[in-house]
Amino acid sequence: MTHLPPMTTRSTTYIGVPTSRVDGRVKVTGTAKYAAEYNLAGLAHGFVITSAIARGRIRRIDASDALAVDGVIDVITHETRPKLASSDDKYHDDVAPPGVPYRPLYDDKIRWSGQPVALVVAEDLETARYAASFVQIEYQRDEHVTDVDAERERAYVPPKERGGMGPAEDAGDAAQAFADAEVKVEAEYRTPIEHHNPMETHATTAVWEGDGQITVFDKTQGVKNSQQYVANVFGYRPDKVHVMAPYVGGAFGLALRPGYQLVLAVMATRALKRSVRVALTRQQMFTLSYRPSTIQKLALGARHDGTLTSWRHETVAITSRHEDYQDNVVNWSRQLYACPASALDYKLVKLDLATPCDMRAPGGTTGLYAIECAMDELAYAVGIDPLELRLKNYSDKDQSENKPYTSKELRACYRHGAERFGWSRRSHAPRSMREGRELVGWGMATGIWEAMQMKAGAKVALGMNGDLEIASAFADIGPGTYTMATQIAADMLGVPIYNVTTKLSDSTFPQAPVEGGSWTTASLGCAVREACQGIRRELLRLAQEMDGSPLADCGLDDVAFADGRIRAKDDPARAVAVADVMRAGGAERITQEATAEPSEDESHAKFTHSAIFAEVRVDEELGLIRVTRVVNAVAAGRIINPKTAASQVMGGVVGGIGMALLEETFVDHALGRPMNHNLAEYHVPANADVHDIDVIFVEEKDDLINPLGVKGVGEIGIVGTAAAIANAVFHATGKRVRDLPITIDKVLGA
């Protein structure tokens, strides 16, 4: 595990210092409340009934037996539901893909197995669940298809509008270059449907506030997204919809779009004029959304010395019938590897399933798995060390847009990662590092993710007693957003972090997008910084108005804010206490609200990079694979909190171990629904599956990316990890398994 220096307790320098979560205590003591934990007077409980078929119509719903159960209040179906918006636009949330968004309980149409078809509301959850078993539903069943191989011929290029990506651009003549190549590697890789499996299941507690307004506690990564969506769907004025999600028990992308439970809870609350909670079961979490499966064909052409001459990457991914969900699987090689000719192709296949959604590093995770395995295959085809092959083809510019990077310390990632791992002691040949009855394998891969910033706001208020309060609508789904914002403000204004209260994820707070895309630290961090700059400016102005001010001739850049004081940088003796400044100026509280936006400068490409090294030990007779060591070296600009950032990368690596060896959703194509819809049969890494994970942040100074110089680390940890493990399995066994997860049967099989 990562070794970190102890947290500092006295200094008021926090940026870059490993800092424990400021919300840690409320979380570990159970005081932090989640969406399904708000117990209101008169709260009713909804239980969702989901569709038993994958495609067709509801012919008849008979709820009379359920309604006769003691304690049942109502059964809401498409026939009995209250009025909902009728245009598609109203259901289009902030992060919806192109297509026709699904409308819960809107009509009799069944689009996937597990779609909600009724909500039973009762005085308590057990009664609602029991009564649900008496609701009789007759379906008209239509033929469904959930098998990608059955539909592969009908793959189409997705539309570009509304966040769609459209076809990728080609460079040079990749087909000709491949035909002419001295060395060729061609392979097809597969990644399965995966489910996010956050600890907290989706839930909404809707509070009846009378007509015309509503309050909801929602499981969401974006309270503003839920707020606007509820306003649109039910016809509220947006400011009359109050959404809060102060704590979120993990999400990984699953709560970026409003969940159907949000609509059902609000619908029931309006119908019954009383507060209602709708919480999904773990099984129902498997029919909400998922990471789409992919089939990826890679064709690499190179010279004998390993220099790339041609790159082709074709992907077929799955989506629903009604929406064209897309993620960026193929557009990464031109950032990573210099190659004169490349052709990137991304297509979708429509299936009778729920619409997929973003899951931790969407597209990058699946794409880099295939890209980095193909590079490993090329390394063996030309007989060059895999790390050396990557250095040989290193690209110092983003070839897709012919731009330099704001920063790219990927070479340092390779160097530091390799050193820490001991890569130089590796013997190249597969099956050459046996230890006892175990085959030892060392593999590596590269990771890359976009370094994004979104427009976001924050409000910061400084009180005369030194208390500092921060507010923003941004969520903290677990990465340490509360702590990051706290550190930045404390640092900027020279107050101890214990004086700071950060409030997040409330729709009445300053505007913020969903927490996702690894953009929160850059986006919220810069907004907090801006607001604190405003407070500094105001404090200095007031300080200079004081009689005989020692700072009279100082500009904002000439002073430091530390230990509750403002002092001249060049003469610490010239200082005034912030409390005195505020008292003198009659300012009990100084409040500043700021909005930070990404720079308009498009001249540089912005990416986060990593190098992952993995050791596996494979029991040759049993086929058991253990990932005994992972070193992940990350270049992500300035790291605000090395402790929570390392946790993010470590968590990403654990996700990568799951992806490589365990995670896979099996769809029963006859029924058209996930079979292993529980945590007993959908395997995720548990403690015994996770051994040493060593996270390194390499030095990366970036003055161009944003004023804080940060890039974000929420997703980079998972990208490339599965490839490093898959490559290690090849190195250990000599067996190239090209469909994830790498299970015992595939390792032992012919």
Question: What residues line the site for ligand MOS (CB under 6 A)?
Answer: 221, 251-253, 256, 358-360, 362, 516-517
CB 362 to ligand MOS: min, Å: 5
Cβ distance to ligand MOS smaller for residue 359 or 471: 359
CB–CB of 172/341 below 8 Å?
yes
Cβ distance to ligand MOS smaller for residue 358 or 398: 358
DSSP string, 629-651: EEEEEEE-B--S-HHHHHHHHHH
Q: Any idea which residue has 């990984």 for tokens? A: 252
CB 248 to ligand MOS: min, Å: 10
Task: Enter the tokens of residue 54.
Answer: 């994958």
CB–CB of 731/441 below 8 Å?
yes
CB–CB of 272/262 below 8 Å?
no
CB 358 to ligand MOS: min, Å: 4
DSSP-derived letter for residue 613 is E
DSSP-derived letter for residue 213 is -
CB 509 to ligand MOS: min, Å: 20
> Minimal CA–CA distance to 480: which of 29, 7, 27, 20?
20
Report the SS3 class of residue 558. Answer: helix
Identity (one letter) of the amino acid at 436? G
CB 63 to ligand MOS: min, Å: 36
Task: Enter the tokens of residue 484.
Answer: 């990051």
> Minimal CA–CA distance to 104: which of 242, 262, 221?
262
CB–CB of 18/645 below 8 Å?
no
Report the SS3 class of residue 72. Answer: strand
Q: Is the dihedral of CA 270, 273, 279, 280 positive or negative?
A: negative
Report the SS3 class of residue 674. Answer: strand
Cβ distance to ligand MOS smaller for residue 56 or 362: 362
CB 290 to ligand MOS: min, Å: 12
Burial class for 157, CB neighbours closer than 10 Å (0-12, 13-18, 19+): middle
Q: Any idea which residue has 């548990």 for tokens? A: 686
CB 710 to ligand MOS: min, Å: 16
Cβ distance to ligand MOS smaller for residue 250 or 430: 250
Cβ distance to ligand MOS smaller for residue 122 or 361: 361
CB–CB of 449/652 below 8 Å?
no
d(CA 422, CA 245): 44
> Minimal CA–CA distance to 96: which of 246, 232, 300?
232
Q: Any idea which residue has 């994820």 for tokens? A: 505
CB 516 to ligand MOS: min, Å: 3
Report the SS3 class of residue 380. Answer: helix
Q: Where are the beta strands (DSSP E) in 352-411?
A: 397-398, 403-404
CB 473 to ligand MOS: min, Å: 16
Strand partners, 450: 607
CB 246 to ligand MOS: min, Å: 18
d(CA 296, CA 288): 25
CB 607 to ligand MOS: min, Å: 16
Task: Enter the tokens of residue 575.
Answer: 């200082």
> Minimal CA–CA distance to 393: which of 483, 519, 303?
303
d(CA 518, CA 714): 5
Q: Which letter, b or e, does each residue of 169-186 get, where b requires 16 or more Cβ atoms within 10 Å of its Cβ? A: eebeebeebbeebebbbe
Residues marked as catalytic: 715
Strand partners, 576: 566
DSSP string, 287-348: GT--BPPEEEEEEEEE-TTS-EEEEEEEEEEEEESSB-----SSTTHHHHB--S-EEEEEEE
Cβ distance to ligand MOS smaller for residue 329 or 578: 329
Cβ distance to ligand MOS smaller for residue 259 or 516: 516
